[in-house]
Amino acid sequence: MSNHLSIIRTGSALGMAALLSGCGLTGLTEGSGHVTLRLVAADYGDSDANSSKKYWGELVDAYEKDHPDVTVDVSVYSWNDVDAKVKAMVDAGSPPDMAQIGAYSDYAAADQLYKADELLSVTVQADFVRQLAEAGKVRSIQYGMPFASSTRLLFYNKTLFAEAGLTPPTTWAELAQDARVLKDKGVKYPYALPLGPEEAQAEAMQWLLSGGGGYTPQTLSSYSIDSPENIDTFGWLKDKLVDKGLTGPVAPGKLNRAAAFAAFTAGEVGMLNGHPSLMKAAQQKGVKFGMVPMPGRSEPGKIAMGVADWMMAFRKNGHAKQIGDFLDFVYSDENVLDFSREYDLLPATASASQVMSTTKEDADLKPFLEELPLSETYPVGRTSWAQVSALIKKQIGQAVAPGGDPATVLGDLQTAAGKADIAAGD
């Protein structure tokens, strides 16, 4: 690993100061025609041993070996900090050449990003999973390049189910019946419903999709948070699960995803929605679990929730040719598979997905891969989504609180979303 990369990717305050004070320094020649590219990336690891710094370091070393005229400086930050770091750099007039973060649409709406087809080869751009490529578009133009993805399945504790004589549910009614039996058996969280501020928008969306609704109509022309389907879904959750005491001792509006996952790995949860990383955590704790598609009203859900993180490239510094060539390398099957396998994530490309769906070492991820073509992502192409998502995280748990009214809460969210939409010009 090059010394220069090792220093940059520490993410220290000194390194950040150097980046912010470096306006106009990107691309300084280290010889005739030499170009330096800056990439800011999120850290998917949970320790120094598996930090994304290692992945990017090895990838950049391999690329620079065959491209001596290009240096790629990578700074890796935690998910708690990386979006704010990029925003600070952009606000300071010194955006990175590339950023791998959680949202892209506000930068695209401000005309600060390259279009994907200005950078990538036709082969690479065409290889993105279709749903993810569509989610990367603002006003029908792709700016966001999906980097990693995930879907959700219903996890259930096999030991608790066996002791209670249960089979995994396929419908909402069966889920409620199973939860009742688990509660009678003394299970702490028969169904864990994390609608707390950490990631309420994810749990809510999974339920809305299974109820035939969602955050936006198929036309994507507006938000539809208070649609009749959505109100019915939250009414069912409140009446059939929460009010009957089947969601555990912590109020759903105060239960965060991390706490729900921790309770599952401690053997205290009968059922909850989870993504691939929960598999490893549960296995490490010795919890025997199964996974099935999210139940629907009268049959298994037909649409799963998909999530993607994004790569984007800023126009200000130029270097479109060099950025495109580097990203073509980033999206090669070898590199995409290495990243996906390291962090139990789904590939953003169809070719890597095909490889993972047929190899024994990736068998654990196959159920999630099967859900990906059936998935729907957040409406990340709407520049108002970041604001609307924040409102959902803060307020939607109130819809199932004692005395709460789903129609009122969802109606208030719809009104706020409409105002955010108009302000953003979506």
SS3 state at 415: helix
SS3 state at 146: strand
Check residue 7 and give its pLDDT.
28
SS3 state at 425: coil
Cβ atoms within 10 Å, residue 256: 17
Does the fold of domain 153-293+384-424 match that of domain 3-150+308-377?
Answer: yes
Indicate the helix (H) or strand (E) that contains 142: strand 141-142
Of the candidates 253, 251, 294, 290, which has an alpha carbon nearest to the alpha carbon of residue 270? 290
Check residue 386 and give its pLDDT.
86
Task: Tell me which of 3.40.190.10, 2.102.10.10, 3.30.1490.190, 3.30.465.10 is the CATH number of domain 3-150+308-377.
Answer: 3.40.190.10
Q: Is the pTM of this model over 0.85?
A: no
19 close to 94: Cβ distance less than 8 angstroms: yes
- Return per-residue pLDDT of the chain as tens, 426 residues: 333 333 233 333 223 333 333 333 344 443 448 999 999 999 998 778 889 999 999 999 999 999 999 999 999 999 889 999 999 999 999 999 999 998 899 999 999 999 999 999 999 999 999 999 999 999 899 999 999 999 999 999 999 999 999 999 999 999 999 999 999 999 999 999 999 998 899 999 999 999 999 999 865 568 999 999 999 999 999 999 999 999 999 999 999 999 999 999 999 999 999 999 899 899 999 999 999 999 999 888 788 899 999 999 999 999 999 999 999 999 999 999 999 999 999 999 999 999 999 999 999 999 999 988 888 999 998 889 989 999 999 999 999 999 999 999 999 999 999 999 888 876
Check residue 42 and give its pLDDT.
95
The CATH architecture that domain 153-293+384-424 belongs to is 3-Layer(aba) Sandwich (3.40)
What phi and psi, each to the nearest 5 degrees, are found at residue 231? -65, -40
DSSP 128: B
CA 309 to CA 339: how far, in whole Å? Answer: 13
Token digits of residue 385: 């989504």
Name residues whose C-beta falls within 8 Å of residue 45's C-beta, 6 or more positions apart in sequence: 51, 52, 53, 54, 343
Instruction: Map out the domains of the chain as residue ranges.
Output: 3-150+308-377, 153-293+384-424
Distances (CA, A) of 260 to 28, 296, 318, 363, 364: 49, 22, 45, 25, 21
Check residue 90 and give its pLDDT.
96
CA 120 to CA 144: how far, in whole Å? Answer: 12
Check residue 426 and give its pLDDT.
67
